[in-house]
Amino acid sequence: MTDTTEHTNRAKEWFETLRTKICNEFEAIERETGSDAAFTFTPWEREEEGNSDPGGGVQGLMKGKVFEKVGVNVSTVRGSFAPEFAASINGASAENPGFTATGISLVAHMANPHVPAVHMNTRFLTTGKSWFGGGADLNPPIPYDEDTADFHAAFRAACAAHNPTYYDKFKKWADDYFYIPHRQCHRGVGGIFYDHMECPDGDGSGAAFDRNFAFTKDVGETFLGIYPKLVRRRMDSDFTDADKLQQLQWRGRYAEFNLVYDRGTLFGLKTGGNIDAILMSLPPEAVWS
Indicate which residues carry an active-site annotation. Answer: 119
**CA pair distance 221, 248, nearest whole angstrom:** 29
28-45 core/surface letters (b: 16 or more CB in 10 A; e: else): ebbeeeeeebebeeeebe
Which contiguous run of DSSP H or E holds residue 266? helix 263-270
Q: What is the largest CA-CA distance in the chain?
A: 61
**CA pair distance 68, 8, nearest whole angstrom:** 33
Q: Tell me how far apart the terminal alpha carbons of the chain are, to the nearest angstrom.
A: 56
Contact 55, 272 (CB under 8 A): no
- Count of CB atoms situated within 10 Å of the CB of 244: 16
Query: Distances in Å between the alpha carbon of 158 and those of 220, 223, 247, 262?
Result: 10, 10, 30, 25
Query: Distances in Å between the alpha carbon of 29 and those of 33, 128, 272?
Result: 7, 42, 34
